[in-house]
Amino acid sequence: MSRSTYIKKKFYSVYQDLNRSNYEAEKRRLQSELLKLQQWVVDNNKRVAITFDGRDAAGKGGAIKRFIEYLMPHYFRVIELGVPTKKESRNWFGRYKKHMPKKGEIVFFDRSWYNRALIEPTMGYCTERQYRYFMDQVLNWEEKNISDGLILIKFYLSVDRDTQLFRFKERIVHPLKYWKFSKNDEKARAKWSVFTKYKDQMLDRTSSKKSPWVVINANKKTYARLSCMLYTIYHIPYVQKQSFKPLTGEELPSKYRIEIDGVPFSNLSFRQYSVLDRINKKRV
């Protein structure tokens, strides 16, 4: 079976058409759940790592900013590493091992060890041998960490070429964001197809049942941020979690089943299931 079978190619949420007012309301609800999740992590000495990878201007930092806005600051860290030293480049996994979460902590990676699978080979910052070694070893490294108790979520924020160009132009003329654009961004954009090749190889070869990729359509920032939050609270089994119901819509690829008075209802959308579940609970 191809490893690509395990990729969560799209995480459909309810948020495609939310207006700004509803976005703010839903963001607050999700942030409240994230705080409960963090309390569970702290109380139970759990270790959580959430990685955000993608092209330049995909919205990685912005998504993390919304995650951490109301979290307890002593129990999370944001890791955004710069250019590796020669020693770090030779000991790639060791570079990130020292930043992994301690007990009772959540760590957010703004770009992760997957730089070695994406931007480094695209721009020629690593050797072919280093790239091949990483691709051969990364799943073993992740799954060993997971076996040792790490909860790992890997997000890939996907933007199309036009969206990236618009955001670059927006940065260049923005009086408060111009510093976000660099010559390296321009060089990487010129190698769009090369990056795409490495991205496809990464998604195909570095996903497993224990460590799947979650690919989020990030052309709309608000949708991407809420979708990442929603996936996180669905994925992590924190005790305080209630049956969280998104504001509107349904999760398209998921099918649900419920039985009422011995009669099974299957192949239901999330919305259909929610309606029947509420009716059933009122009858009990």
Average confidence score pLDDT of the chain: 89
The structure tokens 């190698």 sit at 191
Q: Tens digit of pLDDT for each residue in 180-225?
A: 888 778 888 899 999 999 999 999 999 999 999 999 999 999 999 9
CB 74 within 8 A of CB 106: no
Given pLDDT bands bounded at 50, 70 and 90, which one contains residue 259?
A: confident
pLDDT at residue number 218: 95
Rounded Cα distance between 92 and 78, Å, is: 19
Is the pLDDT at 13 greater than 70? The verdict is: no
Is the pLDDT at 4 greater than 90? The verdict is: no
CB 58 within 8 A of CB 278: no
pLDDT-above-70 percentage for the chain: 89
pLDDT at residue number 255: 62
Rounded Cα distance between 174 and 86, Å, is: 35
Transcribe 174-242 into DSSP letters.
-TTTGGG--HHHHHHHHTHHHHHHHHHHHHHHS--SSS-EEEEE-SSHHHHHHHHHHHHHHHS--TT--
- The alpha carbon dihedral of 157, 162, 168, 174 has a sign of negative
Rounded Cα distance between 265 and 251, Å, is: 17
Give the Å distances, CA to CA, from 33 to 51, 71, 83, 146.
19, 10, 35, 23
Domains and CATH numbers, the chain: 3-235 (3.40.50.300), 254-284 (no CATH)
pLDDT at residue number 185: 80
pLDDT at residue number 249: 41
Neighbour tally for 48: CB within 10 Å: 22
The alpha carbon torsion through 203, 238, 44, 68 (nearest 10 deg) reads 70
Q: Tens digit of pLDDT for each residue in 18-39?
A: 888 889 999 999 999 999 999 9
User: What integer is the mean pLDDT of 237-243?
Assistant: 81
Q: Tens digit of pLDDT for each residue in 113-140?
A: 999 999 999 999 999 999 999 999 999 9
Given pLDDT bands bounded at 50, 70 and 90, which one contains residue 172?
A: confident
pLDDT at residue number 283: 66
CB 55 within 8 A of CB 164: yes
Given pLDDT bands bounded at 50, 70 and 90, which one contains residue 63?
A: very high
